[in-house]
Amino acid sequence: MIESTHLRQRGPLDFESHYEHLCALRDLVPLKAVKANLNQGVLDINGDWIKLSEWAPILSSISINKHLAFLAVRSYYQPGLGETGCERYKQHFRKRIPAIRSKDFTIQLCKSIRDCLSVSSALKTLELQGIPLRHRDLIALTKGLSKTKTLQNLSLANCPIGDEGLEIICQSVKNSATIKTVNFTGCNLTWRGAEHMTNIIKHQATKRHSEVWAESLRYRRPDLDCMTGLRRITLNCNTLIGDTGAAAFAEALKDDLWLKALDLQQCGISDEGAKALLDILQSSTTLIVLDVRKNPLIDRSLTKSIIERILLNANEVNSEYKWLTLTSSRDPAKQKQRRKTIMLGHGLKGKATIRIGTRKFAENGKKGAPVSSDFIPEPLPPGAEGYVPWRTAARANRFRGIHPGSQLQNKEVQASNPVKVTLESASSSETEEPICTPKTVVQMSVVGDSSEAITVKQYKRLKVELEECRLRLEEEMRARTKADARLMELEVEYTRLRNINVSLSDALHTQSITSTILEDEGVLESIEASFQKFHAFLDLLKDAGLGQLATIAGIDQSDFGPVGRPQLSSSVGKDMKEQEGDLTKEKILPGVPQATQEGL
């Protein structure tokens, strides 16, 4: 077999070899960023640094791929950066727009992913981040989503699809049997987009209720965790969702027993929407993550109540759905390591910056030596170089957010860290010796001390809150243990009563059948007795002389006799014919004229 044919046949199962083969055919060098994690079944690339000519082998390899389990294509380009300044800079930045931002490329990318989703049996995670997907791109993508049988995680974070684009995606997501998590962070969604997601929840809940009913037959207990459908919805950084979207989620989650996590950070929710979400937590115990942090319109105590209630739901549950990490720039631990950068100017060839950082010195003043925490410098006398009055230090503390009552001694002020100034350019970088003024030293030292003091206070407060939560959790565990024991007793009592009920029902059924049979026999006996009395009455009428009328009318006398019994007669020693002849010839009916009798 020809080697190229063998590579082409092996291509769907070996992404790296097929990609290298296509690059060799096009005289291209395989990119290291593409080959970095292919041995682990992961393709995670930043499309901003890939040229248009280098995309062809990548897209061809993706379209036939059956090997990758994780596929991510990201773009961090900000189109607003090059829109300021003169026309010369505009033209320069316009030339540097990545190829991944063009509409012709996005449709090719979505078609390749569509083909991959249709044929792949290993792809579980798909992430498209920061890519401007258009209407036709989403339609092509949904065709693949409707055919996939293995995809579990879908992320379109920072893709400006809007409510209309989300509605297109929802048409395939709601009928998917494998997709468990969706991420639409920063997708320009409003409360209408939230309603599209709640429609998915309601649609899947209807299907799941049908499955639960089928599995609960014959006293079986359905396994809710093994059913298909969404388990996590992430809609962070969509500030137009607001209270209307939160209320829509609260309405949809009232009767839902399957959704595990809902992330609504920075969604413009106020106290009204938060209260609606808190109300559903009183009855819903399935939801273990409800993240409403970073919504400044929600009262802090209300956010704390929601988190406490959610933590009670997630108690002793080792779930795969975790809280998303918050990256806050106000973290004091990160403020120590941050460097402030001041832009002096920029041009086409390079830019110059000044970075202001901190450097610690040891007792002997040498660089790199460890700094002792017990090191206390000697205070400088007034008038000496570097001396700072205590009023200046107190004023600096007040402006830096430190309580006015906390006074810094001169020795603490003198132990502050100097400032290091670094000049960088596109071609070279120069480092100068520490240069500082007394005022700058005081300000930097105050910032460091205040951050450390705040960190200690926060740690103590969090420790107290953690202890309170631990005590509450222990109480909840004891209460839950008692409730479980009581529930077990009630189940045993219910089983006993159910058995008694079944036995009583059987006894009543047997008794009803017996009584029915007895009633039927009594009715038959009464009917038979009535017939016997009726035939006896007819015999009496016949003995009274009315038998001749029946004979003249052509009625057989056997009709008057009961079935199976002989005919009763009052005549003795004569048969029936002789008796009838005598009655016809000799007897005269009383009260009947003679002419009438002769006519008869």
Helix H, strand E, coil C: the string for 124-163 is: CEEEEECCCCCHHHHHHHHHHHHHCCCCCEEECCCCCCHH
- 411: confidence class by pLDDT, cuts 50, 70, 90: very low
What does the alpha-carbon distance between residue 3 and residue 10 come to, in Å, rounded to a whole number?
10
**Pairing mode of beta strands 289-291, 42-46:** unpaired
What does the DSSP 8-state code read for residue 71?
E
Both tokens of 474, joined, read: 């222990």
- 40: confidence class by pLDDT, cuts 50, 70, 90: very high
User: According to the model, what pLDDT value does residue 569 have?
Assistant: 45
User: According to the model, what pLDDT value does residue 88 have?
Assistant: 54
Q: Kindly report, residue by residue over 118-128, the tens digit of the pLDDT.
A: 999 999 999 99
Helix ranges, 294-384 (H):
300-313, 332-335
Mean pLDDT of 520-537: 82
User: According to the model, what pLDDT value does residue 241 have?
Assistant: 95
- 327: confidence class by pLDDT, cuts 50, 70, 90: low
413 CB-side CA count, 13 A: 25
User: According to the model, what pLDDT value does residue 374 have?
Assistant: 43
> If you average pLDDT over every residue of the chain, what do you get?
75
Q: Would you tell me how many other CB atoms lie within 10 Å of the CB of residue 114? A: 21
Top pLDDT among 169 and 458 is at: 169
Domain extents in the chain: 9-125, 152-314, 332-453, 455-595
Spatial CB neighbours of 298, under 8 Å, sequence gap ≥ 6:
269, 270, 271, 273, 274, 292
Top pLDDT among 598 and 309 is at: 309
- 222: confidence class by pLDDT, cuts 50, 70, 90: low
- 7: confidence class by pLDDT, cuts 50, 70, 90: low
The CATH number of domain 152-314 is 1.10.3720.10: no
- 352: confidence class by pLDDT, cuts 50, 70, 90: very low
User: According to the model, what pLDDT value does residue 343 have?
Assistant: 47
Q: Kindly report, residue by residue over 438-457, the tens digit of the pLDDT.
A: 333 333 333 344 444 457 77
Q: Kindly report, residue by residue over 89-114, the tens digit of the pLDDT.
A: 555 555 578 999 998 999 999 999 99
Mean pLDDT of 239-266: 92
Residue 56 contacts residue 112 (beta carbons within 8 Å): no
Q: Would you tell me how many other CB atoms lie within 10 Å of the CB of residue 5? A: 9
Top pLDDT among 595 and 384 is at: 384
Least confident of 216-220, 255-259, 314-318: 216-220
User: According to the model, what pLDDT value does residue 11 have?
Assistant: 73
To the nearest whole percent, how much of the chain has pLDDT over 90? 36
User: According to the model, what pLDDT value does residue 557 have?
Assistant: 57
First to last CA, the chain: 125
Top pLDDT among 597 and 231 is at: 231
Comparing C-alpha atoms, which of 155, 119, 121, 126 is closest to residue 43?
A: 126
What does the alpha-carbon distance between residue 111 and residue 569 come to, in Å, rounded to a whole number?
109
- 273: confidence class by pLDDT, cuts 50, 70, 90: very high
Task: Determine the 3-state secondary structure of 291 from DSSP.
Answer: strand
Q: Kindly report, residue by residue over 67-80, the tens digit of the pLDDT.
A: 899 999 999 988 76
Both tokens of 68, joined, read: 């990758």
To the nearest whole percent, how much of the chain has pLDDT over 70? 62
Q: Please list, residue by residue across 28-63, b when 16 or more beta carbons sit within 10 angstroms of its beta carbon and e when fewer do.
A: bebbeebeeebeeeebbbbbbebeeebbebbbbbbb
241: left (phi over 0), alpha (psi -120 to 50) or beta: alpha
- 130: confidence class by pLDDT, cuts 50, 70, 90: very high
User: According to the model, what pLDDT value does residue 443 have?
Assistant: 39
